[in-house]
Chain A
Amino acid sequence: MSSVRVLVGTHKGAFVLNSDGRRKDWTVSGPFFAGWEIYHMKGSLVDPNRIYVSQTSGWFGQLIQRSDDGGKTWHQPGLPNEAIPAPGPPTALPNRFAYDTSPETGKPLTTHQWYDGTQHPWEFKRVWHIEPSLTDAETVYAGVEDAALFRSTDGGENWHELSGLRGHGTGPKWQPGAGGMGLHTIILDPTDPKRIYIAISAAGAFRTNDGGATWKPINKGLRSEFIPDPNAEVGHCVHHVAMHRSRPDVLFMQKHWDVMRTDDAGENWREVSGNLPTDFGFAIDVHAHEPETLYVVPIKSDSEHYPLDGKLRVYRSRTGGNEWEELAKGLPEKDCYVNVLRDAMAVDTLDDCGIYFGTTGGQVYGSADGGDSWAPIVRDLPAVLSVEVQTLN
């Protein structure tokens, strides 16, 4: 029988939630890395026992952790937990994220726009998102703050920047969102290993067709009232982007305000907010088996990061946007003032498709029927930063 493993990153540690395919009874393991911020954790599709974790702290910096046994044990890649290292310089530096400053490729990578409009140097802060390769368990991507994309081809032991992204020319116009200037979304095209989409707050979405050497801003059609030119090429606060594996040219975006859609790999976007009660939000995802069914969690506004009227609601569109239905069964009817962050929603691939999301109030909700009904899997975790799901056979 299939089973489900939900990976939950929180403000104070990581948790792993397990259930069989019925998804009624759950076990909760953790906290792992107790007391640390776990921005994101994600398993490899190639080897589900391989899980990568971004562990971070304002005091102690950035660490990468890895499990090779499905979350039972963890280590920093290349650094065995118990062994005394051999003398000599280390061969694995799993936590070192050094921007490319080489004369050949790093020279133009100097500054981005600061909050006050002045230019500011790039400063590494943390890894926001980890995306394992779809074809190789040893290859993994990391989206970082200040925004850049890194790749490891040795299981996270060493990381190298794909500097073509920062270097393509618009970097000085990128600016931090309220949460920092993070590269938070990495989508790998399952049909073309050289095509990758990424998104940055607040720069926008970008696409490479050559494995990360060169990048193109793909923000045509986005409109952001808070920037001097609302239709600018970059500067948009994209909150998250989702894709169905069967249609890699179709993307859905939750922008700061507006839910957007593209059918041509980002060349043109159109708004599909439709009848949503508010189109501000962070999380967005697509049903595992229905490419036109998507989910968002509307949030009141950019000034009030909680649901409308204290009622936590998921909205589902079965028409690829524009026509949305409220999903309320099992969700709080009143006095709910949590947020659902951008990486805190995920789906499993069972039939019916399971939908999961975590809140800043520490609840993780699950639906085993495509969103028709919801129940809390766990209620009192630290604030949830990320949710990912592994469907195990």
Chain B
Amino acid sequence: MSSAGESNAATVRVALPYHLRNLAKVEGDVLLEVAAPVTIRAVLDALEARYPMLRGTIREYETGQRRAFLRFFVCEEDWSLESPDKALPDAVAAGKEPLLILGAIAGG
């Protein structure tokens, strides 16, 4: 699978879980301008800059690590344990596929 290039800013789609959509007061996917290279870190940086009410809800404040009960999926693959600096697939950088953020199933 090829990866996002090093050049222009991309419009990236992010699919948030229900409670975070409510918190950000958005419906449907969020569209973000993200400078290349498009990585999970870059997408989350852009997400938190545009929607500061989400700071700390996806990544821990102190460590910047993914919160334990959240997972990231990209193009039907689990990216939860990938490096946050790994370039995302071109389909994400092109806005064709979203970065999917999900709450892990860990209770009700």
B75 at the interface (CB under 8 A from A): no
Q: How many A-B contacts at CB < 8 Å in the complex?
A: 58
Binary CB contact string for chain B from 22 to 50 against chain A (1 if under 8 A, 0 otherwise): 11010000000000000000000000011
A179 at the interface (CB under 8 A from B): no
A18 at the interface (CB under 8 A from B): no
Q: Within the assembled complex, what's the spacing in Å between the Cα atoms of A199 and B18?
A: 36
A58-B106, A59-B103, A60-B19 known; A95 and B56 CB under 8 Å? yes
Binary CB contact string for chain B from 69 to 108 against chain A (1 if under 8 A, 0 otherwise): 1100000000000000000000000000000000110110
Contact partner of A36 (CB less than 8 A), chosen from B19, B56, B107, is B19
Contact partner of A81 (CB less than 8 A), chosen from B25, B57, B58, is B25
Contact (Cβ within 8 A) A79 B20: no
CB contacts (< 8 Å) of B52 on chain A: these are 79, 85, 90, 92
The A interface is mostly helix, strand or loop, or mixed, namely: loop
Instruction: Give chain A nearest CB distance to B106 CB in angstroms.
Output: 7
The B interface is mostly helix, strand or loop, or mixed, namely: loop
Q: Which of A355-372 contact B (CB under 8 A)?
A: none
Contact (Cβ within 8 A) B107 A35: no
A58-B69, A90-B52 known; A63 and B106 CB under 8 Å? no
CB contacts (< 8 Å) of A34 on chain B: these are 22
Q: Within the assembled complex, what's the spacing in Å between the Cα atoms of A57 and B106?
A: 12
Binary CB contact string for chain A from 39 to 82 against chain B (1 if under 8 A, 0 otherwise): 00000000000000000011111110000000000001001011
CB pairs A–B below 8 angstroms (9 shown)? A35-B19, A58-B106, A61-B60, A63-B23, A63-B56, A81-B25, A81-B53, A82-B25, A85-B52
